[in-house]
Structure 1
């Protein structure tokens, strides 16, 4: 019973991270333009038009975050989560995450997540696209373990999918935070401090920490991302057309 209550509270905690996502008016920390090739990244045909112009990752990429003088290496998976991974790598390449804080860190009553990527620093911000002047939000994207393609827009419980996702919430998972609307993730991400399998099928995992987890374990609320850099796989960043 206690475990169920904890899981429910943790879900609410992440859901509340962008409660004001529909009314964001802030500007990103940094803006930039990127020359990208175009491909559909195995996106379902019905989503190509709604997501036209969005970044996607047609493969994998490696990103280094520098926090407290130490590097955290992330392997970003665009094979199983092309839209979510592409959104993140695009923001890294723009310099968006540089100097942003980890505004939520939860270790009690047990290790949970560190969460950052909010330009407002209070859990309500997202990325404002400099071209459209609107917040870029992406659909929930989760690939079933035995599926050939990710499913979009609804959680596994909503879709009555009983199998596990391909990318699970293991310790060191990199995933997107969102509001109660499944299709509201923008720039806020979290890294799990422990296995949190009760989040599987509800939030989009798109990569894992491959080096520097000891640095993640030491992150405190208010610590800043000194820099975020794509060190490998930038050529896999494309746009949906």
Structure 2
């Protein structure tokens, strides 16, 4: 009887561990780039509203084919303008970076999580409560952003693919001609 209880307890533990792994996988975002995939661990405990928005847009296919419209060497790569950044719907370089989704802007969810290499943050205007769909991935630490932009995740695989994103023109604040794009973005993989 004790062996049966131990076996049952072991099976229950394995089932709980598998459930935790599945729940964790659901908090990942995978971006397929021209050079390979990038896996981002989403931090729903740090920025629940922003993470939910990103997952919602990814699940709806809104991020697919969207350009990296602003890429500054040694700083970051910005994307996520679902209004003007979709390559298949007529990419508009003069407007890329000025749009968002059809959803309302989100209130800031600033935290103590630092901006380091691989950190993913939400882009916004001067209004702290203006983040919508755009986000950026850090090439290098950016301490000056700490506590002023919402951190939503961290690259856990494929940073070498982020490093290969086409850089923009420094004189044009990182604006990119013929930009690289997010080919496919999925949540939970």
TM-score class, shorter = 0.7 to 0.9
Could you say which residue in structure 2 is the equivalent of 1:126?
100
Contact 2:108 2:128 in 1 (8 A): yes
Separation in 2, partners of 1:176, 1:72: 17
Q: Give 1:140's match in structure 2, choosing from 66, 85, 108.
A: 108
- How far off its partner does 1:206 sit? 1.1
Structure 1, unpaired ranges of 5+: 1-57, 130-135, 144-164, 233-241
Measured against aligned partners, the alpha-carbon deviations of 1:25-59 in whole angstroms (never above 9, x if no partner) come to: xxxxxxxxxxxxxxxxxxxxxxxxxxxxxxxxx98
Highest Rg: 1 or 2? 2
1:183 is displaced (CA, Å) by 0.6
Aligned residues: 144
Given candidates 184, 201, 218, the residue that maps to 2:130 is 184
Q: Which runs of 4+ in 1 moved over 3 A?
A: none
Alignment of 1:144-159 (within 5 A): none
**CA apart distance, 1:91:** 0.9
Over the residues paired in the alignment, what is the CA RMSD in angstroms? Answer: 1.5
TM-score w.r.t. structure 1 length?
A: 0.57
Structure 2 portions without partners, runs of 5+: 1-22, 86-95, 167-175
Report the Cα offset of residue 231 of structure 1: 2.7
CA contact (8 A) 2:105 2:131 kept: yes
| Partner SS state of residue 89, structure 1 | helix
TM-score by length of 2: 0.73
